[in-house]
Amino acid sequence: MPTLGTMTVVGLIAAVALVWFFFKNRRQDQLSGILEKRRSTAKLVTRADYVESLEKMPVALALTADSFYYENPELEASFDLKRIDEIEYDDELATGRSIPAGSRALRLRSHGATFEFILSSDDAAKWKNALPPRRLDQQPVAQAR
């Protein structure tokens, strides 16, 4: 027969698991809300993971005619497309860290800062079509700074 201490520990573990599950699902619901809000004005909207150092956070990516947005409930950020110097799609992060199988990294560089997102391969293909790769040295003279 389990002791009171054992039952307490099992109950605490169950409570922690339920709280974690609740917050994970709530974040997904909030992210879905952001995606839906952006769909009406964007030409492309997908989920991704924003990678900064060792941290990875889920975000909603959206592309409009003149801006690139990445958002989640705690973050609202965007770039004017004209401020993005380079766009790359890769099989690993800039640090050399690998990414999960079936994924691609979208790397944006703007004024010396690098921003990386992990997308599913299917979504990366859509992004590559809508936001083609380019390097700073390959931009037309009219866009050069």
Task: Report domain extents, the chain.
Answer: 4-143
The predicted model gives 48-56 an average pLDDT of 90
Backbone angles phi, psi at 54, to 5 degrees: -95, -5
Record: fold of 4-143:
PH-domain like (2.30.29)
Indicate the range of 3-7, 68-72, 91-95 predicted with least confidence.
3-7
Q: Would the pLDDT of 128 be above 80?
A: yes
Beta strands in 6-125 (DSSP E): 44-52, 55-63, 67-72, 75-80, 86-90, 103-110, 113-120
pTM for the full predicted model: 0.72
The mean pLDDT of the chain is 83
- pLDDT, position 68: 95
∠ CA 115-119-124, nearest 5°, is 100
pLDDT confidence of 27, banded at 50, 70, 90?
low
Nearest to 70 by CA among 130, 117, 23, 131: 117
